[in-house]
Structure 1
Amino acid sequence: MYPDQIIYQTLAPQHFDQVIRLGNNVQGDNYLSATSLQAIYDKSWHKGINASLVAIYKSTIVGFRLTYAHDKWQRDQWCTPNLWPVSEDKVCYFKCNTVSPDMQGSGIGSALLARSVAQAKKQGAKAGLAHIWLASPGNSAFKYFTKNGGVLVQKHPNKWRHASLYEGYDCPVCPTYCECEGAEMILTFDT
């Protein structure tokens, strides 16, 4: 695989089936469904600009970055906007980054993030928030987001427990209900 053979496109409905399959394979069963992905897609748009992207290699989606526009997501108990360096109404939300296991480490995740940041900036965002899964193998998710400029805001125990209890999410690490810790991280955009 050569990085110059990867095609990056904004997420579109024709990508949904492959995105759902890849997401559930990597993140755990029921992580994505047609209904949840449609809702994420709808929240990705602002000013006619879509901040969610896919990476395609030989007609197969090998990665995706799902991002909510700064005005389309709800802050919850795992958000501490008083600690963010920009106004909360200017913060987009990096919902999910997933790369096929056989393509990890090839720069696809960072390329997707950079393209998503560019789209979010066009939408009017000044920063992006993510809840990073601290149980990823080798803590790779935290390392990846930190390498790309993300800064830890706060850690949140049991971040995905509600999804595990009530939404059918099957964590790939926890034997029963998800008890994984999430790291609230923010990435401030250069202007």
Structure 2
Amino acid sequence: MKSVKQIDYVQFDPTHFDGVLELGNRVHGDNYLTTESIKTIYEDSWQDDINASWVALLEGKVVGFRLTYAASKWIPSEWCSPELWPFPPHQVCYFKCNTVDKSIRAHGVGSKLLKRSIERAKLQGAKAGLAHIWLASPGNSAFKYFSKNGGKLVKKHPNRWRYASIHEGYDCPVCEGYCECVAAEMILPFK
């Protein structure tokens, strides 16, 4: 494994919007994130003057990010099974996405971003975090990474991103036409 220069981990702020948008859409597919969604995610990362979202910078460029909604700032959707969670929804933050540039994967960047988000989410009052893990990630790396960090499978949801591909212009990088990817609803209780 080649060595990586110094990665800086900093709180997500508006100066990172363009870099997060570019990296997120390059990795997850066009229109996975939009200028509007980035702004909303940023605003909803905050609770009690604490921001739960982080970015990884290499020589000032965004090479990774963990976007996290504060527990009080998101509402479980039809793709959520709160009756199966160990904590009530108001104690569960939402891990929107974790993305690491291909050039620096396998160096622990995703886990370091997650650890920082967990620390902040705990300060906001969260007892666990929920994520919809993309089971079509290369080598199912997203599921492996989240499981390695303590995530537990709650339920699988076929066609999780289909609506976005039909109505919001999302272009899945693995599906031809409309997205048919399965999401693993996973919960990560905090220690």
Residue 50 of structure 2 corresponds to 49
Partner of 2:156: 155
Q: Mind listing any 5+ residue stretches in structure 1 that lack a counterpart?
A: none
Matches within 5 A, 1:104-123: 104-123=105-124
Residues 38-76 of structure 1: CA distance to partner in whole angstroms, max 9, x if unpaired? 011111000000001000011111100000000000111
Deviations 1:111-138 (A, max 9, x none): 0000000000000000000000000111
Q: What is the CA distance between 1:2 and its match in structure 2?
A: 4.8
**Corresponding residue for residue 7 of structure 2:** 6
Query: 1: distance between equivalents of 2:146 and 2:111?
Result: 8
Residue 24 of structure 2 aligns with which residue? Answer: 23
Q: TM-score, normalised by structure 2?
A: 0.97
CA distance in 2, matches of 1:24, 1:76: 23
| Equivalent residues in 2 for 1:17-166, closer than 5 Å | 17-166=18-167
* Map of 2:186 onto structure 1: 185
Aligned Cα root-mean-square deviation (Å): 1.0
Q: Aligned equivalents of 1:101 and 1:39: distance in 2? A: 26
AA in 1 matched with 2:105: Q
Structure 1 residue ranges, 4+ long, deviating more than 4 angstroms after superposition: 1-4
Amino acid in the other structure paired with 1:156: H
Question: Structure 1 length normalisation: TM-score?
Answer: 0.97
Describe the SS at the equivalent of 2:173.
coil
Q: Post-superposition shift, 1:6?
A: 0.9
* SS of corresponding position for 1:71: helix
| 1:5 positional shift | 1.1
Deviations 1:131-150 (A, max 9, x none): 00000111000000000000
Aligned partner of 2:171 in structure 1 is 170
Q: Distance in 1 between the 2:160 and 2:82 partners?
A: 17
> 1:2, 1:68 → 2: CA distance?
32
Q: CA deviation at 1:33?
A: 1.5
Measure, in 1, the Cα distance between the counterparts of 2:55 and 2:3.
17
| Partner Cα distance (1:10, 1:3) in 2 | 21
Separation of aligned partners in 1, 2:78 and 2:34: 24
Aligned residue pairs, count:
190
Shift of the alpha carbon at 1:32?
1.2
| Structure 2 runs not aligned, ≥5 long | none
